[in-house]
Amino acid sequence: MTQKPYVIDQMISAKSIAARIEDLAAEIATEYAGTDKLVVVGLLRGSFVFIADLVRELDLPVEVDFLEASSYGDGMESSREVRILKDLRGQIEGRDVLVVEDIVDTGHTLHQVIDMLQTRKPARLKSIALLDKPTRREVDMKATWTGFEIPDEFVVGYGIDYAQRNRNLPYIGKVRFT
Q: Catalytic: 96?
A: no
82 pLDDT band, cuts 50/70/90, is confident
Distance from CA of residue 108 to its chain's centroid?
A: 13
Question: Is residue 161 domain-resident?
Answer: no
Checking if the pLDDT of 61 tops 90, the result is yes
Q: Up-side HSE of residue 107: CA atoms within 13 Å toward CB? A: 13
Checking if the pLDDT of 77 tops 80, the result is no
Q: What is the pLDDT of residue 37?
A: 87
Question: Is residue 109 domain-resident?
Answer: yes
> Average pLDDT of 92-106?
96
Averaged pLDDT score across all residues of the chain? 93
Q: Are 67 and 41 in contact (CB under 8 A)?
A: yes
Q: Are 63 and 40 in contact (CB under 8 A)?
A: yes
Is residue 101 helix, strand or coil? strand
Q: Which residues contact 119 (CB under 8 A, 6 or more apart)?
A: none
> Average pLDDT of 101-122?
95
Question: Is residue 59 domain-resident?
Answer: yes
Question: Is residue 1 domain-resident?
Answer: no
76 pLDDT band, cuts 50/70/90, is low
Residue 90, domain CATH: 3.40.50.2020
Q: Are 161 and 168 in contact (CB under 8 A)?
A: no
Checking if the pLDDT of 78 tops 60, the result is no
Q: Is the peptide bond before 45 cis (omega within 30 degrees of 0)?
A: yes
Domain count of the chain? 1
Q: Per the residue annotation, which of 53, 96, 105, 132 is the catalytic one?
A: 105
Q: What is the pLDDT of residue 124?
A: 97
Question: Which residues on neighbouring strands pair with residue 79, listed in sequence order?
Answer: none
Count Cβ neighbours within 10 Å for each residue of 69-103 and write b for 16 or more, e otherwise: bbbbeeeeebeeebeeeeebeeebeebbbbbbbbb
Full-model pTM: 0.91
Question: Is residue 112 domain-resident?
Answer: yes
> For 136-173, how does the pLDDT look when each residue is reduced to its tens digit (9 = 90+)?
999 999 999 999 999 999 999 999 999 899 999 999 99
Q: What is the pLDDT of residue 84?
A: 86
| Separation of alpha carbons 55 and 45, rounded Å | 16
Question: Is residue 143 domain-resident?
Answer: yes
Query: Residue 66 is part of which domain span?
Result: 14-153
